[in-house]
DNA sequence: GCTTGACCTTCCCATCATTGGAAGGACTAA
DNA sequence: TTAGTCCTTCCAATGATGGGAAGGTCAAGC
């Protein structure tokens, strides 16, 4: 099947399939004489594996490890579990950071009248030189918010 | 003071100060004859405001709005509160997504022996064509995980 | 056989906030 | 004067993804 069909069947966009090939996450495919990439059901299966890994927030690097463990019949389940649990702890760290941000903001907003008058504790706090300047410093592993790549629906 | 001193005093790196100037978040500064940027305490105050906003996860675009409200004595606190609460809801959405990922993975890992044998429910689930293929689809506003810009400590 | 439209190819660009580094000028203390 | 630290601008990379252009290919219908 062509890349478009493989994309539809796997839920990974054609763009991303080419990208994954370019970075070596998936091997180069067979091509038709005209240069079209050709995919098998097996390839689609691998792409689904990759997509489900992405959906769980694994990085491409981690997915490469997972794929290679998946294809290794001699793997130790411990190696997989280690990757998963490391990722969980990263996720939990990130969750805590976001929760701190949200709770700080919620607290500030609760004290803001939100009317037409200018007095606003939110701005006051942001402008406060004394208060926890380093209090909510996000971890290096994550940007604060940042728009990020859209996923296909 | 020079940019290096302003950076140290504000907690915003010199690189970022130049960047913020380039995108118009902060105005162009006065320069010495040699072309060095010169900052006042007032500028440092603004930079601190910006840094604290970043620490709370606001985007540069939102910060631009916050800064302009901050400097507007006629502002309505409602406008500030609206920005803050919108941001809170985005944060909460993101938190929910990450929590889903973490709980799915925790659940899978709990059922994985994590020994030297190859059997592994984590991989089985990732490879499972049937199961919730679209279950954990992250929202377009955020990448799944992605390494991101480090903040200066 | 030819046209049309849908598909494929590669290549480059943009995102967002941030860091890194190179090349070169300016300043300061010894 | 020299060494070292600071400053300047400019370019590149990050990660995962989408957008789009320019051009080749294929299948269906006429």
Q: Which residue is nearest to nucleotide D15 (CA to C1')?
A: B146
- Separation in Å: D28 C1' and B46 CA: 65
Indicate if the pLDDT at residue A32 is higher than 50. Answer: yes
pLDDT band at A140 (very low <50, low <70, confident <90, very high): very low
List bases, strand C, within 7 Å of protein CB. 7-10, 15-20, 25-27
**Taking residues B10-37, what's their average pLDDT?**
96
Taking the CA of residue A50 and the nearest CA in chain B, the distance in Å comes to 8
- Alpha-carbon distance of A114 to B71, in angstroms, equals 17
**Taking residues B50-54, what's their average pLDDT?**
96
pLDDT in the model for residue A128: 86
Q: Is the shortest CB-to-strand distance from A1 to strand D under 7 Å? A: no
Indicate if the pLDDT at residue A149 is higher than 60. Answer: no
- Rounded to 5 degrees, what are φ and ψ at A127? -90, -5
Indicate if the pLDDT at residue B151 is higher than 90. Answer: no
Do A116 and B122 contact (CB within 8 A), yes or no?
Answer: no
- Alpha-carbon distance of A110 to A94, in angstroms, equals 24
- Lowest-pLDDT choice from B40-54, B107-121, B134-148: B134-148
Nearest to A123 among B56, B69, B128 (CB): B69
| A109-130 per-position pLDDT tens digit | 999 999 999 999 999 999 987 7
Do B87 and A87 contact (CB within 8 A), yes or no?
Answer: no
pLDDT band at B133 (very low <50, low <70, confident <90, very high): very low
Our CA angle for B85, B89, B91, nearest 5°, is 110
What is the CATH topology of the domain spanning B3-56? Multidrug-efflux Transporter Regulator; Chain: A; Domain 2 (1.10.1660)
List bases, strand D, within 7 Å of protein CB. 6-9, 14-19, 24-26
pLDDT band at A24 (very low <50, low <70, confident <90, very high): very high
pLDDT in the model for residue A129: 76
| A39-80 per-position pLDDT tens digit | 999 999 999 999 999 999 999 999 999 999 999 999 999 999
Distances (CA, A) of B13 to B6, B18, B51: 9, 9, 10
Asked if B99's CB is within 8 angstroms of A98's CB, the reply is no
- Separation in Å: D7 C1' and B73 CA: 36
Asked if A148's CB is within 8 angstroms of B85's CB, the reply is no
Q: Which of A55, A73, A82, A93 to mutate to test the interface with B (most CBs of B within 10 A)?
A: A55
Q: Residue B48's closest CA among B9, B99, B96? A: B9
**Domain limits of chain B?**
3-56, 77-127
**Taking residues B121-130, what's their average pLDDT?**
90
| Residue A145, SS3 per DSSP | coil
Distances (CA, A) of B88 to A48, A95, B22, B92: 33, 13, 28, 6
- Alpha-carbon distance of A27 to A43, in angstroms, equals 10
Query: Can you spell out the DSSP letters for B5-17?
Result: HHHHHHT--HHHH
Residue B132's contacts (CB-CB under 8 Å, 6 or more residues apart) are none
Asked if A136's CB is within 8 angstroms of B56's CB, the reply is yes
- Separation in Å: C20 C1' and B36 CA: 21
Nearest to B119 among A69, A77, A125 (CB): A77
pLDDT in the model for residue B128: 86
Measured between alpha carbons, how far apart are the two ends of chain A, in Å? 22
- Separation in Å: C26 C1' and B34 CA: 7
**Taking residues A32-36, what's their average pLDDT?**
95
Distances (CA, A) of B23 to B16, B60, B64: 10, 10, 10
Indicate if the pLDDT at residue B142 is higher than 60. Answer: no
**Residue listed under structure tokens 């996450």:** A25
**Residue listed under structure tokens 């991989």:** B123
Asked if A135's CB is within 8 angstroms of B105's CB, the reply is no
Do A38 and A5 contact (CB within 8 A), yes or no?
Answer: no
- Alpha-carbon distance of A30 to B34, in angstroms, equals 60
Share of chain A above pLDDT 90, in %: 83
Indicate if the pLDDT at residue A132 is higher than 80. Answer: no
**Helix-helix angle B3-10:B14-22, to 10 degrees:** 100
pLDDT in the model for residue B129: 76
Report the Cα B153 to chain-centroid distance in Å.
15
The encoded tokens of residue B39 equal 């900052």
CATH architecture entry for A3-60: Orthogonal Bundle (1.10)
């Amino acid at each position: 099947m062509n890349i478009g069909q493989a994309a539809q069947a796997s839920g990974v966009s054609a763009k991303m399939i080419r990208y994954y090939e370019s970075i070596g996450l998936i091997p180069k495919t067979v091509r038709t004489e005209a240069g079209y990439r050709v995919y098998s059901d097996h390839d689609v299966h691998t792409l689904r594996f990759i997509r489900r890994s992405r959906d769980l927030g694994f990085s491409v690097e981690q997915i490469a490890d997972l794929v290679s463990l998946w294809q290794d019949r001699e793997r130790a389940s411990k190696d997989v579990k280690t990757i998963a649990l490391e990722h969980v702890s990263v996720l939990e760290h990130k969750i805590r950071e976001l929760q701190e941000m949200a709770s700080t903001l919620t607290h500030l907003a609760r004290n803001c009248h939100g009317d037409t008058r200018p007095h606003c504790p939110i701005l006051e706090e942001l402008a406060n030189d004394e208060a926890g300047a380093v209090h909510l410093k996000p971890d290096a592993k994550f940007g604060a918010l940042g728009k990020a790549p859209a996923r296909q629906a």
